[in-house]
Structure formats: structure tokens, C-alpha cells
């Protein structure tokens, strides 16, 4: 959906352009679930994506993730590759094998040198290497439908 800009007149005064911009942004917002075992990364991602008016949920425990996906029905999953118990590639493979979640876009993040190859082989839709630039993250989030 394209962002449209415009304004309307109200009692002789122009309304602010920003109100139309915010409405358009809200219409484009995504429900995003983020799973990472690092609370600092979770908080940073949550703040950056919330600032773009996305609806954000976070999970630190990879064992709870499938249930959270079932309950919340996110538009996008952002997933750390290396987590205790269930790794990001295990979760990605599991989701891509489940008919109800095979089309859920998954963005895998990792500091691993082999992370992109592992994520792609597991079925991830995209990959982002840690540390990453927030603008790069936002571009990837917007490109995943």
C-alpha cells in the first residue's frame, strides 16, 4: 500500500499533513513477534519497530514460541538463530512444515558467520547479520509480506 500525503481544510485552516501520514502508516503496520534470548536485543528491536507504529510482541523462551504464534497470528516473525533449547533454524523448519504457518514470513537475525546459509537452508525468508543498522532492519521488515 502506498503512503499518500494530503490535507483537508477545516474551518478555514489546513489540517496537518502528519495526520494523513500517521493514518497511512497505521494501515501499513504489521503485527510482529520477535524471539531472541537476549533481552537487550528484544528491547532494542521492540523500540525501533514500535516507533514505526508496528504492533510488537516479544518472547525470550523459544519453547513458548509456537504457542504464541498460534495465539497471536503475527504478520512477521523475527527470530534469533542461536537460542537455548530450540534454535531459530529448528523453529523455522518446523513452521515451514506446518500448513497453517508455511507462508508466515520469517526474518532470521544472527551474529554467526554461517548464519545466512543456515537460515536460508531452514526456509527463512530473509536474514540480517548482527550487529545491524536500524534502517536496514526497517527495510527488510517492510519488504516482507
pLDDT in tens, the chain (145 residues): 333 333 333 444 443 333 334 434 444 799 999 999 999 999 999 999 999 999 999 999 999 999 999 999 999 999 999 999 999 999 999 999 999 999 999 999 999 999 999 999 999 999 999 999 999 999 999 999 7
| CB within 8 Å of 114: residues ≥ 6 apart | none
**pTM as predicted:** 0.81
Q: Which residues lie closer than 8 Å to 57 by C-beta, 6 or more apart? A: 31, 32, 33, 34, 68, 72, 74
Which domains, and CATH codes, for the chain?
29-143 (3.40.50.2300)
Q: What are the cell numbers at 81?
A: 538463530
Amino acid at each position: 500500500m502506498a503512503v499518500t500525503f494530503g490535507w483537508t481544510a477545516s474551518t478555514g485552516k489546513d489540517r496537518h499533513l502528519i495526520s494523513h501520514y500517521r493514518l497511512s502508516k497505521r494501515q501499513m503496520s504489521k503485527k510482529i513477534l520477535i524471539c531472541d534470548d537476549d533481552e537487550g536485543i528484544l528491547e532494542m528491536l521492540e523500540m525501533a519497530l514500535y516507533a514505526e507504529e508496528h504492533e510488537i510482541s516479544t518472547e525470550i523462551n523459544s519453547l513458548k514460541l509456537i504457542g504464541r504464534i498460534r495465539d497471536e497470528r503475527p504478520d512477521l516473525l523475527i527470530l534469533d538463530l542461536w537460542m537455548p533449547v530450540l534454535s531459530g533454524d529448528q523453529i523455522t523448519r518446523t513452521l515451514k512444515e506446518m500448513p497453517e504457518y508455511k507462508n508466515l514470513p520469517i526474518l532470521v537475525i544472527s551474529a554467526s558467520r554461517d548464519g545466512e546459509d543456515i537460515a536460508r537452508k531452514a526456509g527463512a525468508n530473509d536474514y540480517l547479520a548482527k550487529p545491524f543498522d536500524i534502517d536496514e532492519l526497517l527495510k527488510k521488515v517492510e519488504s516482507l509480506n
